[in-house]
A = this chain, B = another copy of it.
């Protein structure tokens, strides 16, 4: 069993610091492991013994009737060395230390952290943490974590130096009905670093995209060597903070991270194929983009819009991000002339003015995708029949039925449009608003989830589509350049 399998596919877990007090992390994390439905054996440990939630509590690790594959430790800092020693003596080789109060807190904390790592290594043991939120591994239903959130299995892996942010990413993925494979809060990285997990995830067949939040590097050279290998296999989308002195100073207080010079990171990460983003929304958007679309071959984009203003916003955003909003070739214009009303824009974006016949949206997308001149399509607005809006605004007893029909109509229209582009191997990135009668966003929420269940995503804003597409173009070109070496 490799060291990472012990963390991510354990058959048994010891939990040191188990508590029956609902205000304590020793209860809450244990509760999350139980509630999450962990597939293996769970051994709570507390010197006081007794029972918690129908589980026997062991007075010490030695008493556990087997050698657990992994241990989770939440005892206070003063008890940490004793806890790790017990685990080591038992033969446990993988330990997650949730406890805070180490290098991030004080000089004594830093000394204790050093001692902790030396002790662990003396047993051949690997450590996650300390000062972390724990980890999630959905294939074995392991939710050994502080937050109470249970995303289903899915293609998104998260490696985060902030537990709070890491699990917020997971929660966002869950809300959109994209699931997670593994989520790791790396904390102070006293032993295992972010790059170790990124390396593991490259070979993890449950993971298709790696989302990461990074404050700094314990071993920058190794980080980038690994990243440049991994990015050949799957996209790594990353928030790297500490861009400014204020941010770097905050990072030092948070996880004792040294951010290093931001300009250096920017250059090196580009060479390593890392897709850098700047906030959580961008991270989610770009990650979903990689999950839902084929990679574009180049940067030439065709835009179709159901509202003129949206097209202008998208064209601006595309051009700012280095995408080429190409002039439409005459033959393409001619083809669209055959069914669009006489006064259509004859321009890119293709503005589907009032009077365009039903189905024009899907048809224009296919025409745009068919031509060599265009590498990707951006499609703005909600396609489909007016019944969508009527359903959303309907009241009365058969509203639910109408809503269901409308959601099917929406997903059908999007899928048709997507297929029309993908049969030419090209991505079509959607953005649309949804009806929210009286401020009720439940229809929108349901429709978006229905889309993601069919591996589709529709962004809220046209400039989001431009960012997603430009990130995919950048990654595609990176892969092309690496394959030519």
Residues of chain A touching chain B, judged by Cβ–Cβ distance below 8 Å, are: 23, 25, 100-101, 105-106, 109, 148-149, 160-165, 168, 171, 174-177, 213, 215, 239, 241-247, 249-251, 253-255, 278-281, 303, 307-320, 325, 343, 345-349, 351, 353-354, 386, 389, 393, 433, 436-439, 441-442, 445, 449, 460-461, 463
> What is the CA–CA distance of A436 and B354 in the complex, to the nearest angstrom?
39
User: Of B174, B309, B463, which is within 8 A of A278 by CB?
Assistant: B463
Contacts of A310 in B (CB 8 A): 162, 164-165
Task: State whether B449 touches A445 (Cβ < 8 A).
Answer: no
Contacts of A161 in B (CB 8 A): 309
Of the candidates B245, B317, B438, B445, the one whose C-beta lies within 8 Å of that of A441 is B445
Give the residue name and chain of the B residue nearest to A310 (CB). B164
Given contacts A308-B253, A461-B279, contact A316 B105 (CB under 8 A): no
A–B complex contacts, Cβ < 8 Å, 13 sampled: A176-B439, A215-B312, A239-B313, A241-B313, A243-B316, A246-B316, A247-B317, A250-B311, A250-B349, A253-B346, A254-B312, A280-B461, A442-B442
Chain B nearest CB, measured from A303 CB (Å): 8
Which of A310, A386, A389 has the largest count of B CB atoms less than 10 A from its CB?
A310
Check B343 against A254 for contact (C-beta < 8 Å).
no
Are B439 and A242 in contact, CB atoms less than 8 angstroms apart? no
Chain B residue nearest to A240 (CB atoms) is B316
Residue contact B100 to A353, C-beta cutoff 8 Å: yes
Contact check, A441 vs B439: say whether CB atoms are below 8 A apart.
no
The residues of B that contact A245 with a CB separation of less than 8 Å are 319
Is the Cβ of B100 less than 8 Å from the Cβ of A354? yes
Identify A164's interface contact among B251, B254, B309, B463, CB under 8 A.
Answer: B309
Known contacts A161-B309, A309-B254: does B243 contact A177 (CB below 8 Å)?
Answer: no
Shortest A364–chain B CB gap in Å is 15
Distance between Cα atoms of A215 and B311 in the complex (Å): 11
Q: Which residues of B contact A242 (CB under 8 A)?
A: 312, 316
> In the assembly, what is the distance between CA of A325 and CA of B320, in Å?
29
Task: A278 to B281: give the CA distance in the assembly, Å.
Answer: 16
Residue of B nearest to A165 (CB): B309
Looking at the complex, which one of B164, B439, B461 makes contact with A174 (CB distance below 8 Å)?
B439
CB pair B177 A439 closer than 8 Å: yes
**In the complex, are the beta carbons of B312 and A251 less than 8 A apart?**
yes
**What's the minimum C-beta distance from A461 to chain B, rounded to whole angstroms?**
5
Decide: B164 and A308 in contact? CB cutoff 8 A: yes
Q: Do residues A162 and B109 form an inter-chain contact, with CB atoms below 8 A? A: no
Q: Are B436 and A171 in contact (CB under 8 A)?
A: yes
Q: Are B320 and A244 in contact (CB under 8 A)?
A: yes
A375 CB, min distance to chain B CBs, angstroms: 15
- Chain B residues with Cβ below 8 Å from A23 are 386
Q: Are A255 and B308 touching (Cβ within 8 A)? A: yes
Question: Residue of B at shortest CB range from A164?
Answer: B307
